[in-house]
Chain A
Amino acid sequence: MPYPYGGGDIIYAVDINAIYEASVDRPACILQQTVSQSIPDNTTTAITFTTETLDTHGFHSTSSNTTRITPTVAGWYRFHGVVWAPSLGTYATVVAGISKNGTTQTSPERHATPPTSGSFTDTVGGTYSANGTTDYFELTMLQDNTANSAQNTLVSGSNACYFECVFERGL
Chain B
Amino acid sequence: MSAYTILLELYVNGAWTSVSDVLAETEVQVSRGYTDEGTIKPSTMNWAFLDQAGTYDPDNPYSPYYGLIGRNTQCRLSVNGNYDFQGEISKWTPETTENFSYNQTTGVATGRRIMRVEATGILRRIMDWTQTVESPLHNQIKGYSTLTGYWPIEGDESGSGGETFSNTVSGGKLGYATSGVTFGADDGLTGSDAVASLDATANYGGTFASTSTSGWQFSWAMSFTDVSLSATTYEIMRWRTTNGYSWSFAISNASFTYNVFDAGGNLLKTNTLVFAPQQAEYVIFRMKASVSGGTITFEPAYYFMGASVTSGVTDTFSGSLTRLASWSGTGAIGAGLKVGHVFGLAGTSDNLFSSDQIQAVNGFAGELTSARFARICTLAGIPYTVSTAGTAVMGPQRTDTVFNQLKECVDTEDGMLFDRRSAGPMIYFATNPTVRANSVAMALTYGTNVGTPFTKVIDGLDVANTVTVTQRDGPSATAQLTTGLLTASIIGEVKETVNVNVQDTSLLPSLAKYWLNRLSVLGARYPQVVIDIDANPSLDATATVRGPSDLITVTGYREETIYLMVIGVQTSTGTHRRKVTLLTVPYDVFRYGVYDTARMDAQALTTVASYGSSTTLIRTTCASDNFWSKNAVPYDIVISGERMTVVDASSPGGGGNDVGGFEAGVAGWTLTAGGTSTLTSSTAQKHSGQKSALITVASSPATVSMRSATGSYRQGVVAGGTYSLVFWVYCASVVNLGGAINWYDSSTAFISSGGVTATTNTAGVWTKVTTSVVAPALATQAMFGPSVTGSPANGTLVYFDDVELLDSSGTTQMLSVTRAVNGISKTLPSGSEAHVFNPGRYAK
Contacts and interface: CB of A to CB of B under 8 A. Distances in A.
A13 interface: yes
B518 A12 contact: no
B626 A3 contact: no
B603 interface: yes
A12 B666 CA distance: 32
A171 to B, nearest CB: 15
Interface residues of A, number: 18
Contacts, number: 80
Contacts of B511: 6
Between A2, A3, A6, A12, the greatest number of chain B beta carbons within 10 A of the residue's beta carbon is seen for: A6
Given A6-B479, A6-B510, A11 B839 contact: yes
A12 B841 contact: no
Interface string B495-524: 000000000001101111111111000000
Interface in A98-131: none
Interface string A8-48: 11111111111001000000000000000000000000000
A13 B517 CA distance: 19
Interface in A126-148: none
What range describes how many residues of B lie at the interface?
20 to 34
Contacts of A15: 600
Nearest to A12: B603
A13 B626 contact: yes
A71 B592 CA distance: 36
Contacts of A18: 625
Given A14-B626, A17-B625, A18-B625, A7 B517 contact: yes
Q: Majority SS of interface residues in chain B?
A: mixed
B600 A12 contact: yes
Nearest to A6: B513
Contacts of B593: 11
B841 A7 contact: yes
A66 to B, nearest CB: 22
A13 B513 contact: no
Contacts of B434: 7-8
Given A5-B510, A7-B514, A7-B517, A13 B842 contact: no
Nearest to B414: A7
B600 A11 contact: yes
A3 B507 CA distance: 8
Given A5-B513, A17-B625, A18-B625, A10 B844 contact: no
A8 B517 contact: yes
Contact of A13 (B514, B518, B601, B844): B601
Contacts of B627: 13
Contact of A9 (B512, B625, B841): B841
B840 interface: yes
A1 B505 CA distance: 11
B625 A13 contact: yes
B844 A8 contact: yes
A12 B602 contact: yes
Nearest to A8: B517
Contacts of A17: 625-626
B590 to A, nearest CB: 8
A5 B516 CA distance: 11
A16 B629 CA distance: 13
A16 B844 CA distance: 17
B598 interface: yes
Between A2, A13, A15, A17, the greatest number of chain B beta carbons within 10 A of the residue's beta carbon is seen for: A13
Contacts of A1: 506
B556 to A, nearest CB: 27
A6 B516 contact: yes
Given A8-B589, A12-B626, A13-B626, A3 B513 contact: yes
5 contacts: A2-B509, A3-B509, A3-B510, A8-B513, A12-B600
Given A6-B515, A9-B842, A11-B601, 8 more contacts: A2-B509, A8-B434, A8-B513, A8-B844, A9-B841, A11-B842, A13-B603, A14-B603
Interface of B: 434, 479, 506-507, 509-518, 589-590, 592-593, 598, 600-603, 623, 625-627, 839-844
Interface of A: 1-3, 5-18, 21
Give the 3 A-B CB pairs with smallest separation, nearest first. A6-B513, A8-B517, A7-B844
